[in-house]
Chains A and B, each alone.
Chain A
Amino acid sequence: MTRVDIYRGWCKKCGICIAFCPKETLVADKDSVPTITDLESCTGCRLCEMRCPDFAIVVTKDEKQKTKSGSAAG
């Protein structure tokens, strides 16, 4: 499954990722920080990662993670 990391410390709660997520996978939590309730719906398109002005989201696609090290390949 695709992994999505959200760094709360860097997020400025602008809402861009939530508004333009094609599958509405990202939703706002009570602090307006994006969170994911249904990771199954994520297609791994990475638009949230690319449009985040604060480098606060990382999408790691399944295919790239063949080893169990868990490190995100560049």
Chain B
Amino acid sequence: MKESSHFVHKYLRSSKRFPHIWCAGCGIGIFMQALIRVIDKIGYSKDEVVLVSGIGCSSRLPVYVDFNTLHATHGRALTFATGVKLANPRLKVITIMGDGDAASIGGNHLIHAARRNVEIVSFVINNQVYGMTGGQSSPTTPYGLKTTSAPYGNLEAPFDISRLVEAAGAVFVGRTTVYHTPQLERLIEKSLKKDGFSMVEVLAQCVTYSGRWMGLASPVEMMAWQRDNAITVEKAAEMNETELAGKVVIGVLVDRERPIYDKEYGKLAREKLKV
């Protein structure tokens, strides 16, 4: 069979129906391929990787890949992941969340996982909308954008997930878009190799909803928007806030060291409790 020549196909569950459920041109598929590539490049075995997700379009991702996978309840990917990591610290625990899943329904879990600094790699696929339920405003929907739940324009200011997680204490925070695929792969690799809680915010296009609300009719137009509105961290440092309005700052936002919860816990268990 021709398909089997693609190495990415080695990681897909052949029992699932392909092509996948995501709309034509959806950014989640691009992220999924990048994640598989990096895992293959680093050389993790399928058995040591755990993918945990909540509910939403992006949370469908673990269904398709042949790692240890856990499709948990809405917003609770990080809580399940924390449990998995503490039960078996040797596993590489990865969570896949959408912007609604991570910042709204699971918002508290996101900040507390970052505060605790549990060794989890989390990816937030930010498409700025609740795509699966029909295009309602999410916590990252830009101010003034017309959506299904805000027909006269969104009155709420959007969350900056990366800065939220940075303030909460994550040791690695990166942001990029699916247009910048080589950078996306570099950030995934750095976050997977980092000890402690790391998060990469991936701006992805939802062609069916946020694209339509933004007046960008096709995935090509949305990716061109990502290309034209992304500013690197280095360049953004020289710009003021008015110049940065409406732009997306991409690159490594935070890279630091802090005590890691599961390592401290293991040390405590060995020294004090003699486990």
Contact = CB atoms under 8 A, between A and B. Distances in A.
A72 B7 CA distance: 8
Contacts, number: 80
B219 A14 contact: yes
B2 interface: yes
Interface residues on B, range: 35 or more
A58 B5 contact: yes
A24 interface: no
Contacts of B2: 5, 7
B182 interface: yes
A51 to B, nearest CB: 6
Interface size class of A (residues with CB under 8 A): 20 to 34
A53 B58 CA distance: 13
A11 B18 CA distance: 10
Contacts of A20: 179, 220, 223
A53 B220 contact: no
A58 B6 contact: yes
B216 to A, nearest CB: 13
Interface of B: 2-3, 5-10, 12, 18-20, 22-30, 33-34, 37, 40, 178-179, 181-182, 185, 207, 218-220, 223-224
Interface of A: 5, 7, 9-16, 19-20, 47, 50-56, 58, 71-72, 74
